[in-house]
Amino acid sequence: MSAVQSSTGILAEDARQEREQIVGMLTKAYWMEIETVMSYLANSVNPDGVRAQEVVASLREDIQEELGHATQFANRIKELYGIVPGSMNFQAEQSYLQPPARQTDIVHVIKGVIEAESGAIDYYNEIIQATEGSDPVTNDMVISILHDEEGHRRLFEGFLREYPEQS
C-alpha cells in the first residue's frame, strides 16, 4: 500500500491494519458481485417458456445493478489504498446458479438467485458490522448495496410463490 497523507479516520497511517482488513472484505464482495453478473447474464438468456419471461426480464435489469455494485466495491478498494485484483485471482463459488438440466426449469433459477442474494446479504451485514464506527464511508456504501440485495431477494421470493409446491 502507498503512503497515506491523511492523519485521521480509516485513512490514517496507524489504521493501516484495519484498512487492509476492510480491503480484504471488499475484495471478496467484489468477486461475489462479478460472479453474480456472470450467473445472472447466463440465466437471463438460457431459460425457455412463457413463465420464465418475467424472471428473465428481471435478471436482465439486475445484471446492470450488480455490475454497479462491483464498480462501487472496486472504487472503494482503491480509495483505501488497495489494488483491485486481476481475473487470475477469481475463484467461482456459485454452484447453485449453474444452468439447469432443462431450460424450462425456472424454479431452479429462482432458487439460485435467492441463494446468491442471501449469501450477499449475510456477507454485507458482516462488512457493515466490521466497519461500524471505524469506516463510515464504506459502512454507508454497503448499507445502500445491502438494501438493493434485500429488494432483489424479496422480489424472487415472490416469484417462487407462483409455484405452490415450492413455498
Q: Which residues contact Fe ion (rule: CB under 5 A)?
A: 33, 66, 69
Whole-angstrom distance, CA of residue 45 vs CA of residue 101 = 15
User: Smaller CB distance to Fe ion: residue 108 or 153?
Assistant: 153
The least distance separating Fe ion from the CB of residue 87, rounded to whole angstroms, comes to: 19
- Using CB positions, name the residue nearest to Fe ion: 69
Under 8 Å CB-to-CB from 139, ≥6 apart: which residues?
Answer: 128, 131, 132
CB of 67 to Fe ion, least distance (A): 9
Kindly tell me which of 102 and 147 has the beta carbon lying closer to Fe ion. Answer: 147
Choice between 21 and 71, CB closer to Fe ion: 71
Task: Please state the closest distance from residue 66 (CB atom) to Fe ion, in A.
Answer: 4
- In the complex, least distance from residue 120 CB atom to Fe ion, rounded to whole angstroms: 6
Q: Closer to Fe ion at the Cβ: 11 or 84?
A: 84
User: Contact at 8 Å (CB) between 107 and 116?
Assistant: no
Q: Considering the complex, what minimum distance in angstroms separates the CB of residue 33 from Fe ion?
A: 5
Nearer to Fe ion, 31 or 81 (CB): 31
Q: What angle do CA 67, 121, 98 make, to 5 degrees?
A: 60
